Structure formats: C-alpha cells, structure tokens
Chains A and B, each alone.
Chain A
C-alpha cells in the first residue's frame, strides 16, 4: 500500500502538485485520470523518485521512500514508461533480463531462478515466442508487452504504467489493460495506471483517482466516477455515460463545452 500525504512540487514557482494526498491499495488496479497538465505524470514520477524535489511524504507499506536506496526502491516499484526505450542490438530476452538488476550483486550472473522469472514474465505478457527478436523490430503493441514483461521480471509489489496504451490499437489496448487486471488479481500486485482513456479506466480499474490542477479532485470506485456531471466538472466538457447489454460502462465526451 502506498500512502501519499501533502505531496507538493513546483517548477519555477509554478505549482504542479498541491498538497496531494491519497492511498493506493495493494492487489488492485488504481487509475489516475485528469486533464493535461493536472500533474498525473508528475505524481507517478514523484513516487518513482524520478522527481526528487517534492515536499510531503510518500510511504510504501509504512516505509518512507526517501529512506530507500535506488536499488531498494527498484525492488519495490517498477515502471512502464510512455515511450519504451529502443535498442537496435538487444533481444527481447536480454531487455527483460535487465530488470533482474535490482536483485543481483555486481558480478553475479543470472541464476536459473532469474532465468525462470524472465521466462515466466515473457509468458505472462504473451511474448515468449518473441524472446529472440530484437526489441527495435517489434510492433508498438509487442514493445509495450515487452515493457510490461520487464516490469514483471522486476518482481515488485507495485507497477506504475504511464499512459501505457496511448499508441495502441483497441485490440492491444484491451490486451494490455486485461493483463494489468490479471497481474493485480492473481499476483496480488498494485498497478497504478496514468491514462486518458476513461472507458478503459472504468472497465478495468478497482479504484480511480481524479486529479485537477495538482490536487485530488475525487477518489472512488469506477461506478462512482462514471458520472457525467463529475467528469464535466473535471474536464470542462459534457460527457455521455452509456451501459451496454453486458453491463460494460462506456464514457464518451459529448463535445459541448460547459459554461
């Protein structure tokens, strides 16, 4: 569980995060939604300590993350970035194996357990057959799955994904969110996703955090977020919320700018 209290961060006197507080539960998918510039990515990067100049506190199962070394932090939190780093000369297996770094000592080679973890991660992400391929030769969807396999191989209780499906078609996007849900349910991991896809967030999340101007705007279940007036207040645009025959909720921006 992650507890964030009064998190604040600013760039050149411009506040990006303003005394943000929230709790991210274990074994669940939590999604952060908000307009551009609301501070979503900054929040994710603060938890990862890619941004380190914030005030307030972030604790991980009771431990202040500032007291952890880089290696210890990497044993707790893994990251699927928006842009997957390309390597012209690294195979998918080599790329995923690098995520065992936090668990290895300097000259220690990969053990058979490390190799099993890598293979299992590739299998879970559905890309075991691609392990010999060069990362740069993968399609966008396959590359995103390689990044998720890498995060899984890091064996952390928390995985943070920053707009993981922004470049994916509906099929790969569904596959990715479904995988995130499976990971949280079967492996009891926390998955924190930053996204603009409200329908996917409502469908696959256990809880949703709405962020506006660096502050917590609303925190609740997907059903409570699928509320057109709440979303209108957040984005300044009207929304239609529909439910299909199977009970799936779909959220569409209506296009009418609110007064």
Chain B
C-alpha cells in the first residue's frame, strides 16, 4: 500500500467514524444507538444532528473537489471554488430575496440564480476566446466578485436592520438544515461531480502542468475546461444556495492532501473530498458547541481556523 492509499484509508475510516461521533456531540450527548422509545433524543440525533452532519460532509467534499479542479485549471494554490465569482453572484441573489421579503424558499432559488449569472458571463466570454487563458478567467472572477460586493453593500444600505442582519447571517454560511432533503440533493450532486471529475483524473494531472503541456499530450484543453467549469460551478452554486458561501475548505483541503498524499488526481480527488468533508463536519461541531446554546455560523469557524493555517502552510512551503 503506497503513501496515498494509506492516507485515503485513514481518511475514509475517520469520515465513517465522524458520521456517528459528530451527531453525538451537543448540549446533550446522545448515543447513535438511542432507542425510538426516547423520541425527543432520537429525533435530535437522527432528524436534526445527522442531516446536518450529512450536509456538512457532502458540502465539504463538494468544496474540496471544486478546489482541486480550479487549482489544477489555474495552476494556482490560491484558486478556490469561488474564484469565478460564483459566491458573489449568489450573495446578490440571496440579498435580493431577503430585501424583497420573499418567502424563505426563494432565498436558495435566488442565490442559485445569482450564482449562475457570473458563470454565464465567464462561460460566454471564454467561448469567444481563441484559447482559454486562465489568468483572464481569474481576473474576470475578481471583477465579478468586486461588482457583486458593491451590489450587496448597496442592498445592505437600503435594507432595514432585520433584513441587514439576515443578509449578514447568509454571507457567513451555516449548515442549519432541518430535513434530509438538502443532504440528499447535495449528495446526488456530489456523487455526479465526483464521478465526472475522477473520470478526468489523467486530464487534470496534465492540466496541472500547464495548458500547453496538456495540449501537447493530446488533451482537448478548451473543451475540458468548459466541461469542468460547468459541472463545478453548477454544483457549487447548488451548495451555496443551501448553506451560503463557506470559505477556506475548498482552498485548504486539496492543499493538505497534496502535501501528504501527493498530487496525482486519482488519489487527490477522493482524498481532498474526504478531508473537506471531515473538516467541515468538525468545524460545524465546534460551531454548534463552542458557545452553546448559541451557535456560531460555521463560515466564521472555517475562516478563523483556515486563514492562519493556510498562511502557515504557505510559509512552510517556502
């Protein structure tokens, strides 16, 4: 068993364990073997905490896989699932739904629609390029992110205090789900994403060495980037519409796996996915319990832990 396979096995075992351990933790500690005879505790475990762990795990996996893909396309460790401005667009959509006082259901729909706008702009722009230039895509993403930020600030300005607080809450990201539905939808999306991306592991290996190198080895680079672009952005937009823009997991999980498990995508994709899932579930467990009974938005935890960690990892690399 090589280093990468060993690490994958450990991560898989950790992930399985976490699925049972994480829902045990909370104001009251509950065993996964809780009997249905205790309906309240049973419900808390299986209908509140477990769906939340599921969303956390699947969400972390989606962010990590998307991070792997964008980091390979851009050949840049700082690329994240949000590099193309998807989170900015989603933020505008969600803020608009809040400002218009639309029923709760509209918030994820508007966020999803908002996330699709930057994707459509960049997709159309890239189809007009003779050759896709990742640097231009990054800059386009930055421009969209800045513009979206401006629009969200304006919506904050015209919103009342309650709406403004809601917008703030959304921007921080949260795994506060109340049913299995988001977890199931996101699991299907995550599996589709996983199989598409793992099927392209060799192409991603080549792409991570540069588009000229990939082209000279027979990869149809532009078609590949377009396909990845659509699949990843669609999945990330779906995730954001449920949980908001949770930062750093998509940035850090691929980075850590690459360091300890190597850069071959056949290992990196499942490895980063498992690690991303574990990281987000752990972060959420902290978010739920650190100041209990209050809950901190999980995005705050991932940013607080992720920022310094990433800085450390980058400096250590030097």
A-to-B contact residues, CB < 8 Å = 48-50, 52-53, 69-75, 77-79, 81, 85, 87-90, 94-95, 98-99, 101-102, 104, 106-107, 154
Contact = CB atoms under 8 A, between A and B. Distances in A.
B199 interface: yes
A81 B213 contact: yes
B218 A81 contact: no
B32 interface: no
Nearest to B198: A107
Contacts of B130: 52-53
B206 A89 contact: no
A101 B218 contact: yes
Contacts of B199: 106-107
Interface residues of B, number: 25
A88 B209 CA distance: 10
Contacts of B220: 69-71
B210 interface: yes
Interface in B198-244: 199, 202-203, 205-206, 208-210, 212-213, 215-221
B206 A98 contact: yes
B262 A98 contact: no
B26 interface: no
A89 B263 contact: yes
B75 to A, nearest CB: 8
B208 A87 contact: yes
Given A70-B219, A98-B202, A98-B206, A81 B212 contact: yes
B217 A89 contact: no
B258 A71 contact: no
A50 B217 contact: no
A107 B210 CA distance: 22
Interface in B243-292: 258-259, 262-264
Given A50-B212, A53-B130, A101 B219 contact: yes
18 contacts: A48-B215, A49-B215, A50-B216, A53-B130, A70-B215, A71-B220, A73-B218, A74-B216, A78-B216, A79-B212, A87-B208, A87-B263, A88-B317, A89-B258, A90-B263, A94-B264, A98-B205, A98-B217
Given A87-B209, A107-B199, A101 B217 contact: yes
Contacts of B212: 50, 79, 81
Nearest to A81: B212
Contacts of A85: 209-210, 213
Contact of B218 (A71, A88, A89): A71
Contacts of B218: 70-75, 101-102
A107 B262 CA distance: 20
Given A70-B220, A75-B218, A79-B216, 4 more contacts: A53-B130, A74-B216, A77-B216, A89-B264
Nearest to A48: B216
B127 to A, nearest CB: 15
The 3 A-B residue pairs with the shortest CB-CB distance, nearest first, are: A74-B218, A89-B263, A85-B209
B262 A90 contact: yes
Nearest to A91: B262
B253 to A, nearest CB: 15
Q: Considering residues B199, B215, B317, which has the most beta carbons from chain A within 10 angstroms of its beta carbon? A: B215
Contacts of B131: 52
B244 to A, nearest CB: 32
B217 A102 contact: yes
A99 to B, nearest CB: 6
A66 B161 CA distance: 62
Q: Considering residues B206, B212, B221, B259, which has the most beta carbons from chain A within 10 angstroms of its beta carbon? A: B212
A118 to B, nearest CB: 14
B202 A154 contact: no
B194 to A, nearest CB: 15
Contacts of A107: 199
